[in-house]
């Protein structure tokens, strides 16, 4: 059974929080983990366990249960990618925080109440606040349930009419809300759903960036250009790393590197398409097409795709 660790991050540590999320790291001062069972608890965390970070809450010096009806300004769900290790490399500007774990961001939600998190999680975060950010570790993932809601299976609510919004050329970040692979899949799908809705901007038809066909949005995917597993937190939320690719073949041909986008913004056929005549035929039909929404902001992501997926 996976475990969940809870850590409170006070307001003055906002910069450290952002650096940690960007770098995929969390760290503690040794003195913090010297308290009670702090270090053994952190050392129990394994790859695949979860770490919940809460940022800016009420006064911590209240009796047990005092956060049950409180509101936390921000709650972030991450998954452990590297278990406990020590490293003195400078990451944060104010201190070393040498006792570390590796994390991957899964969900980031604002204004989460204690009722939503549940009594155990709310109390764990209150205790962490009183222990200068030490981790409280519990078995299971019950407190993550509020981040896991059913996603729509259709595009209901994404707009009516035939208006075709322009795909933004400027980089724009998208905020998103929110034990096992199923939980991760749902959280990632929530992120994808937010990006997709932002990209479609209320349309019910959209143009595939690769083939240029105007299609119902149910046949359009918000495809990452640089693979999500290889992106930083910032890259993951940039619309410049997303393109509309249709399910009539373009999305899969690009995903597997049978086609790529040149540095002039045109579709080109990759050598690996020659592995099968049908693939080559499908890819050849797209060759030379100008890519919708190609811009200087998307160019580095397309270059990553050429250098890492095609070759």
pLDDT in tens, the chain (311 residues): 889 999 999 999 999 999 999 899 999 999 999 987 889 999 999 998 999 999 998 888 899 999 998 999 999 999 999 999 999 999 999 999 999 999 988 888 889 888 888 888 999 999 999 999 999 999 988 777 666 654 333 343 333 333 334 444 444 444 444 345 667 777 777 777 778 888 888 899 999 999 999 999 999 999 999 998 788 878 887 889 999 999 999 999 999 999 999 999 999 999 989 888 999 999 999 999 999 999 999 999 999 999 999 97
The pLDDT, as a whole number, for residue 182 is 64
CB 93 within 8 Å of CB 52 = no
How many CB atoms lie under 10 A from the CB of residue 102? 17
Q: Beta-strand (E) ranges in the chain?
A: 3-9, 25-28, 50-55, 71-86, 99-113, 136-139, 205-207, 214-216, 220-224, 242-246, 259-261, 267-269
Which DSSP state fits 173? B
Q: Given this model, what pLDDT does residue 105 score?
A: 85
* Contacting residues for 156 by C-beta, under 8 A, at least 6 apart: none
């Amino acid at each position: 059974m996976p475990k969940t660790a809870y850590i409170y991050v006070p307001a003055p540590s906002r910069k450290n929080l952002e650096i940690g999320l960007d770098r995929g790291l969390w760290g503690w001062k040794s003195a913090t983990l010297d308290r009670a069972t702090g270090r053994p608890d952190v050392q129990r965390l394994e790859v695949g366990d979860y770490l919940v970070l809460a940022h800016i809450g009420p006064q911590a010096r209240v009796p047990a249960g005092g956060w049950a009806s409180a509101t936390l300004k921000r709650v972030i769900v991450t998954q452990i990618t590297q278990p406990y290790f020590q490293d003195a490399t400078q990451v944060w500007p104010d201190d070393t925080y040498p006792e570390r774990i590796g994390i991957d961001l899964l969900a980031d939600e604002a204004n989460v109440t204690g009722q939503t998190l549940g009594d155990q999680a709310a109390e764990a975060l209150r205790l962490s606040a009183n222990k200068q950010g030490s981790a409280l570790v519990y078995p299971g993932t019950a407190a993550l349930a509020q981040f896991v809601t059913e996603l729509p299976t259709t595009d209901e609510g994404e707009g009516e009419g035939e208006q075709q919004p322009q795909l933004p050329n400027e980089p724009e970040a998208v905020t998103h809300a929110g034990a096992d692979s199923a939980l991760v899949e749902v959280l990632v799908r929530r992120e994808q759903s937010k990006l997709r809705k932002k990209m479609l901007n209320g349309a019910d038809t959209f143009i595939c960036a690769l083939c240029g066909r105007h299609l119902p949005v149910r046949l359009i995917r918000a495809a990452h250009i640089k693979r999500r597993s290889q992106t930083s937190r910032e890259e993951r939320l940039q619309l410049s790393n997303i393109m509309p690719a249709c399910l009539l073949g373009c999305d899969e041909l690009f995903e597997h590197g049978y086609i790529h986008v040149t540095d002039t913004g045109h579709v080109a056929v990759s050598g690996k398409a020659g592995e099968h005549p049908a693939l080559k035929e499908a890819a050849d039909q797209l060759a030379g097409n100008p890519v919708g929404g190609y811009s200087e902001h998307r160019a580095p992501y397309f270059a990553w795709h050429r250098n890492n997926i095609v070759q």
